[in-house]
Amino acid sequence: MLSLDRFKHMNFKGDLFGGVTTAIISLPLALAFGVASGAGAEAGMWGAILVGLFAALFGGSTSLISEPTGPMTVIMTAVLTTMMAQYPENGLAMGFTVVMMAGAFQILLGTLKLGKYVTLMPYSVISGFMSGIGVILIILQLAPLLGHQAPPGGVLGTLGALPALLLDLHFAELFLGILTLAILFYLPQKYRQYVPAQLVALVAVTLVSIIIFDTDSINRIGEIPSGLPSVVWPTFTAEQFTSMVIDALVLGTLGCIDTLLTAVIGDSLTRTEHDSDKELRGQGVANMISGLFGALPGAGATMGTVVNIQVGARSPLAGIIRALILMAVVFVAGGLTEPIPMAVLAGIAVYVGYNILDWSFIQRAHKLSISQMAIMYGVMLLTVFVDLIVAVGLGVFISNIMVIERLSRVQEQHVKAISDNDTDEEVPLNSHEKELLEKAQGKLLFFYLSGPMIFSVSKAIARQHRYISEYKTMVLDLSDVAMLDVTVSLAIENAITDAIDANVQVFIYSPNQETSEKLNKINIREKLGTDAFCHSREAALHKALEAMSISTTQR
C-alpha cells in the first residue's frame, strides 16, 4: 500500500535533480543490461521504468533507486538462455513468468516479516557470490566485445568458444569496446561530477562508430519500439514448474539481498531507517509488474541510490520523476538508440562487472582470515562454474560450522565442575559458600554453567559429569545461564539421570524463569521432586551437605 509518510521530507528541488540525474545514469545501464540479458534493449529500458516507478511508490525506503542491476541481469540471462533453449516458442514468456514468481516470493518474504533475516549471512559468502556474479558478467560480454553473438552455454560455453572467437575477432568492434572501457576507467573525476562516465562513453563512442565505420559493418542495437510494452501472460509447463520455482527463489533472494544492502547504505547517508519488510513487498510488486510486461527484474541500485542522495533527493518523488523521464525517452527518442554499437554496451557491462567485484575484500582477505578467504574464493568459483544456490548454500553451511566450532571452544570454558580441592576463580562462590563446599570433603560436585548454552556445549557437559559416581551429591547452578537450548537441556537431563543412577542426590539453583520452564518441560522437577529446587546457591549447598549428614552450622 502507498504510504505518504515517506514523502514528508520531500525536497522538490533536490528530488527533481535526483530524478533527472539518476535517469541519465540509468539510460546506458538499462540498454546494456537489456542487450546482455538476451531480452533486448527495450526489456532493459522498461525494467528501469517499471521497477523504478513501482518500487518508489510501494517500497519502504525514502531515497532508494531501483532498476535492473548487474547481479539480477546475470541470473536473468541464465534463466532466459535455459528456457529459450528448451522451449523456443514459449521460452521468453516462461522466463518472464519466473520474474513474476520471484516478485511473488519477495512479497511473501515481506508479508512474513522476514526482511531482517535476508542479509544475515557471513560477509565472506556475500563477497564471494557478488564477485562471482561480476566475473560471470565480464565473461558473458567477451563475445560482443570481439564482434560476435554470444555463444550458447553461458560461462562454460563462452570459455569453450573463446579460441574460435579470438581467431575470428572483428577489430573494429574490439576497438570500440576498448575505447568504451578507456573512457569508463580514465575519464577525469572533475568531469564525472557533471555527467556519468557511462553516458559519455555511450554518446562519444557511438559518434566515433558513425564517423569512422560504415553503419552495416558494426553490430548495432537498432531502434527501441516507442509504444507500450506487450503483456506477457504467465506461462509454464508441469515438467518445468519445479525448476522455474527454484530460478524464481534464486532471483527473488538475490534481489532481496541486493536491495536491502543498498537500503542500509542509503540509511547511513540520510540518517534514516528503512522498513525492510515493506521494501521487499514494494520490490515484489515492482518485479511482478515488470515481468508481466516483459521487462527485466530489478533491485536497489547502489550507484543510483548514492548519487540520488548526494544531489539532494529525500523522498520517493525522485524515483518517480526518474521513471517518467525514462518513459519519455522511450516514447520520444527511441530512434536515437539505433546506431549504438553492441560493443559499447558490452564495454559498459564489463565495467559494471569489474565494479561488482569486491576488490576491497579480495585485497585484504588473506590478511584478515585464511579460512574466510578460502570461503570467499570457494563461493566465487562455485558461483561462476556451478550454481549460485550451491555456492551460497555451501558457503553459509561451512561458515556456520566454523563459527559454531569457535563458539564451542569459548562456551566450553563456561562449563565448570568443582569440588572442595578443585577451586576455580570464575565460579562465583562467596567465602561462606566455599566453606560449605570444603565441608563436603570432595564428595560434593558443584556444577556451574554460565552464558548462553547452545547445542555445541553439550559434549562439554557430558565430559564434566562423567565421574559423577565418585560423589554423593551434586549442586547444579544455572543462575547465570542466559539461554538454554533444547540440546543442552537434554544434556543436563542426561547428567541428572546419570547422577540418579549413581545414587547421587541433585539440587538445582535456577532463578531464571525461562531456564526453569525449559527444565520443567523435560520433567526434571518430576524426577527430582520440588525440594531439589532451591531459592539460592547457599541453600542448595546446605541441602547437599544435609543429604550427606554433614553439619552446616558455623564452626
Contacts 24+ apart (CB under 8 A), 208-217: 208/176, 208/179, 209/176, 209/339, 209/341, 209/344, 210/339, 213/172, 215/339, 217/172
Q: Are residues 190 and 90 in the same domain?
A: yes
Say which CATH number the domain at 434 has: 3.30.750.24
Over residues 179-206, the mean pLDDT reads 90
Same domain, residue pair 134 and 262: yes
Distances in Å between the Cα of 10 and the Cα atoms of 7, 133, 347, 508 are 5, 36, 37, 60
**pLDDT bracket for residue 378 (50, 70, 90):** very high
Q: Tell me whether residue 348 is in a domain.
A: yes
Is position 552 within any domain? no
Domain count, the chain: 2
Mean pLDDT, to the nearest integer, of 67-73? 92
Apex 475 CA angle, 469 and 481, nearest 5:
120
Residue 161 lies in a domain: yes
- Tell me: do 423 and 396 sit in the same domain: no
Looking at the domain assignment, is residue 72 inside a domain? yes
Same domain assignment for residues 322 and 247 = yes
Determine, yes or no, domain membership for 116.
yes
Residues paired with residue 444 on neighbouring β-strands, in sequence order: 473
Q: Which three cell numbers stand for residue 400?
A: 556456520
Instruction: Examine the domain organization and report whether 178 and 245 are in the same domain.
Output: yes
Give 483-502 pLDDT, tens digit per residue.
Answer: 788 888 888 888 888 888 88
Q: Are residues 370 and 434 in the same domain?
A: no
Edge to edge, the sheet with strand 415-418 lists: 415-418, 444-453, 473-484, 505-509, 533-534
pLDDT (0 to 100) of residue 552: 58
Q: Give pLDDT, residue 555.
A: 43
Please say whether the beta carbons of 93 and 233 come within 8 A: yes
Q: Which amino acid is at 269?
A: L
Q: Are 313 and 17 contacting, i.e. CB atoms less than 8 angstroms apart? A: yes
Whether 407 is in a domain gets the answer no
Domain encompassing residue 167:
9-354+363-401
Distances (CA, A) of 183 to 146, 173, 179, 192: 18, 15, 6, 11
Alpha helices in 342-387 (DSSP H): 342-356, 359-368, 370-385
| Residues 318, 397 share a domain | yes
- Assess whether 395 and 471 both reside in one domain: no
pLDDT score, position 553? 57
Is residue 46 in a domain? yes
Residue 44 clears pLDDT 90, i.e. is over it: yes
DSSP calls for 296-329 = ---EE-HHHHHHHHHTT--STHHHHHHHHHHHHH
| Domain membership flag for residue 4 | no
pLDDT digits (tens, 9 = 90+) for 449-460: 887 777 667 777
Q: Directed axis angle between helix 70-86 and helix 12-37, to 10°?
A: 30
pLDDT-above-70 percentage for the chain: 95
DSSP state of 220: B
